[in-house]
Amino acid sequence: MHVLVVNAGSSSIKVRLLDDDELLHRTDLSADRGRPEPGALEQALDGLGRIDAVGHRVVHGGPRRHGPVLVDDAVLAELDELAALAPLHQPPALAALRATRSALPGVPAIACFDTAFHAGMPAAASTYAIPARWRNELGVRRYGFHGLAHEWAARRAAVLAGPRLRTVVAHLGSGASACAVAWDGDQPRSVDTTMGFTPTAGLVMGSRSGDLDPAVPLWLVESAGLAATDVAGVLDRESGLAGLAGSADMRDVLAGERAGQPDAVLAVEVWLHRLRAASPRWPPPSTDSTCSCSAVASVSAPTICGGAPSPGSPSSAWPSTSTSTQAPTRTARPTSAPTVPPHAPWWSTAARSSSSQRRYVPSSPEHTRSARCRRRGCRA
């Protein structure tokens, strides 16, 4: 069966043609803010031959969509209503979906949702401490995103490091999030993640702020006189690394940091601080494996892991079973783990700051060169 896969992200559109697990064709389209050049996607579809079905990555499925769905006009209309919750991703994904439906009439189109993997998170992880009406009638909750990537990476980590591991996956690209993954038999499931109601929340990203005191946007609108739409646009498109260092590209930021540019140095420190502080962690015996994937992980693994050796070097093998830990910065700062009650909840402060063995598994369908990180205590 020939399946065309269209992954419309915030900075690129990836097009793949598969015959079961065999890759037949690949095309990557540059897409500023998720939008390629006019006609580029249609041109990429020319000459691909037989296509039996098209699978689309769609970021937000809302409260109703917990699995893949055959797309028709009614589903499209439903997904259009969610565009305001993911303005960088939802409109481009739906535009790509409409373009392929038009170019391939009669070929089934299947939407696969980034939110679906997180739909079964425990209530403690998915619930905001807000009034019941907001939660029940308006559907305000932590949806989580990057679910397709997190599920794939967890499965890949299980292949490389052993089955049914308690894993933290760090998806580090223009968008970034971390996810704690447990296993029910052979099925991975999300138990916590850094993103929330929208993909703006969580870690510092290329152009998105990540977590922010909710009073800040209100103050900017009510006291500083900014328009709400302008504030929302800045938080999504002009914040994150772009707001701190002037570039949303981690390669540029790391180059600036190496050159001693103060803004770039600060940007890296803020990025690392939020990565350490916000990423989900397991209680003792804690995380069995951590895998980082996507573009940023492939160029900044030494930064994330405190100067990890390059892939393939003799010292990049699995870490020992020692209980010491090292903070994920360039200068090692040995720390000792606090005493944690045997049944401490995994979200507790003690559990979140405990030390344990962690394995770093480089796994990504696009960036398999990500470094294996030998150093322990890196909480990507």
Pick the CATH number of 197-278 from 3.10.450.50, 3.40.50.2300, 3.30.420.40, 3.40.50.300: 3.30.420.40
Compute the CA torsion angle 258, 264, 266, 272 (nearest 10 deg).
-80
317-344 pLDDT, tens digit each: 222 222 222 223 333 232 333 333 333 3
| Per-residue pLDDT, 4 | 95
Cis peptide before 285 (omega within 30 of 0): yes
Q: What residues contact 133, with CB distance under 8 A and at least 6 apart?
A: none
CATH no. for 2-113: 3.30.420.40
Give CA–CA dist 126/123, Å, rounded.
5
For residues 88 and 32, the answer to whether their CB atoms sit within 8 Å is no
Give CA–CA dist 83/91, Å, rounded.
6
Residues of the chain with CATH 3.30.420.40: 2-113, 197-278
| Per-residue pLDDT, 196 | 95
**In one letter, which amino acid is 233?**
G
Among residues 169, 228, 237, the alpha carbon closest in space to that of 199 is found at 237
**In one letter, which amino acid is 279?**
S
Catalytic residue IDs: 114
| Per-residue pLDDT, 294 | 60
Give CA–CA dist 361/364, Å, rounded.
10
Count CB neighbours of 42 within 10 A.
13
Give CA–CA dist 167/160, Å, rounded.
12
Retrieve residue 13's tokens. Answer: 């559109």
For residues 270 and 143, the answer to whether their CB atoms sit within 8 Å is no
Cα 192 to the center of its chain, rounded Å: 12
Give CA–CA dist 196/176, Å, rounded.
12
Which residue ranges in the chain fall short of pLDDT 50? 307-380
Please provide the distance, in angstroms rounded to a whole number, between the alpha carbons at the two ends of the chain: 37
Give CA–CA dist 292/172, Å, rounded.
7
162-171 pLDDT, tens digit each: 877 788 999 9
Which residues is 8 bridged to in the sheet?
A: 13
Compute the CA torsion angle 305, 351, 275, 318 (nearest 10 deg).
20
Among residues 65, 54, 40, the alpha carbon closest in space to that of 7 is found at 54
Among residues 166, 151, 155, 153, the alpha carbon closest in space to that of 117 is found at 151
| Per-residue pLDDT, 356 | 36
Give CA–CA dist 361/380, Å, rounded.
11
Backbone phi, psi, residue 269, to 5°: -65, -40
Residue 372 Ramachandran class (φ > 0 left, ψ -120 to 50 alpha, else beta): beta
H/E element holding 271?
A: helix 262-278
Q: What ranges make up the beta strands (E) of the chain?
A: 2-8, 12-19, 22-30, 53-58, 69-70, 109-113, 167-172, 176-184, 187-193, 289-293, 325-326, 334-335, 360-362
| Per-residue pLDDT, 336 | 31
Q: What residues contact 90, with CB distance under 8 A and at least 6 apart?
A: 58, 59, 60, 79, 82, 83
